[in-house]
A and B are shown apart, each in its own frame.
Chain A
Amino acid sequence: MTESVTLIDDLAVDGPSAPPRSNGELIFDFPWESRAFGMAVALAEDGAFTHADFQQALIAAIAEWDALGLPVANYRYYECWLSALEHLVHERTSTQIADIDERAENFLARPAGHDHDHDHDHDHHGHHH
């Protein structure tokens, strides 16, 4: 579709010609994970950073998590993904990490009943076999 450097290269998709397949796998456990995914792909497609940049940042974020020595059950891939994204956004735009946290705190202070999902603590990990 484009020849730009993309996080995930452009794909030749020839449409849903085959019958639906039952992979039965949740791709994203929570909506915010798909937003974090989409933001990274969009920024990479716009050239804000390269695929290699993101991959390095992601490897670093995962290594950082590994170094914390937390129980493996606590691991959330997309939290590392988000950390990598925040790091690159901070590095490549005028956005400060503190700005992100401040905005998040503001969102958390919203009155109850606001349409927001606080389900990130549930554990949906495990092999689907």
Chain B
Amino acid sequence: VTAHPHPHDRPAASVRAEALEALLTEKGLVKTTVIDGLISRYVNDVGPMNGAKIVAKAWTDGEFRERLLADGSAGVSEFGFSGPQGEHIVVVENTATTHNVVVCTLCSCYPWPLLGLPPTWYKDPAYRSRIVREPRVVLGEMGLALDPSINITVWDSSAENRYFVLPERPAGTEHLSEEDLAALVTREAMVGVAHVGAPA
């Protein structure tokens, strides 16, 4: 028997979560209905659509794009969105020669108000460590094969800065409305692990 506490010495997380909720409810610190409502709000209402609207606007409005790249927080605030308390949103633009990809190596900092909840892979230790060391390989494994001539910049999100990728507008979308453009933009593209595909 070791003197050091080990996670497996404790009951499984699933049961501890249930126990914690029971204790907190009894103490009047949380309400089950409030938790239900919060889960529903984040699962159902907040997806990557806010970010997609910003991207579509930047593609169709050059002055907005300039403002957004100069000050991401101010740019997204024009839409009524804001970053988590005290954090800056920094927008980085993909071009024909530069590709940007976002990670949080320490935990899972993520621009929630723009992209909803982070996907599972974003929180994976493998992604968090490998995307920094070998971004081209990891992106290739995720289905994004980049030409060797394209420079890759990896941005490490933190409590201070949340990065957000402005992807390249796909060819053949000149006729699309802002709304139709927004529908093309995926969360993966705004983290920088995918391109935005042309409309089907």
Which A residues lie at the B interface, using CB under 8 A?
A: 5-9, 11-16, 18-19, 21, 23, 25-30, 32-39, 41-43, 45-46, 48, 50-52, 55, 58-59, 62, 65-66, 68, 72, 75-79, 82-83, 85-86, 89, 93-95, 99-101, 103-108, 116-121, 124-129
A23 touches B29 (CB 8 A): no
Name the B residues within 8 Å of A30 (CB-CB).
14
Instruction: Encode contact with A along B27-44: 1 for CB under 8 Å, 0 otherwise.
Output: 101110011101101110
Which B residues lie at the A interface, using CB under 8 A?
A: 6-7, 10-24, 27, 29-31, 34-36, 38-39, 41-43, 45-50, 52, 79-86, 106-109, 112-113, 117, 119-121, 123-127, 141-143, 159, 179, 182-183, 186-188, 193
CA A41 to CA B30, docked complex, whole Å: 10
CA A76 to CA B123, docked complex, whole Å: 9
CA A27 to CA B16, docked complex, whole Å: 20
Contact among A14, A42, A66 with B38 in the assembled complex (CB-CB below 8 Å):
A42
CB-defined A-B contacts under 8 Å, sample of 25: A5-B85, A12-B81, A13-B46, A18-B49, A18-B182, A18-B183, A21-B49, A23-B186, A25-B119, A32-B18, A34-B43, A35-B39, A36-B20, A37-B42, A38-B38, A39-B17, A41-B42, A42-B30, A50-B85, A79-B13, A82-B16, A93-B24, A95-B24, A99-B23, A129-B188
Chain A residue with Cβ nearest B123: A77
B36 touches A72 (CB 8 A): no
Main secondary structure of the interface of B (DSSP, over half): helix
Contact among B85, B141, B186 with A51 in the assembled complex (CB-CB below 8 Å):
B85
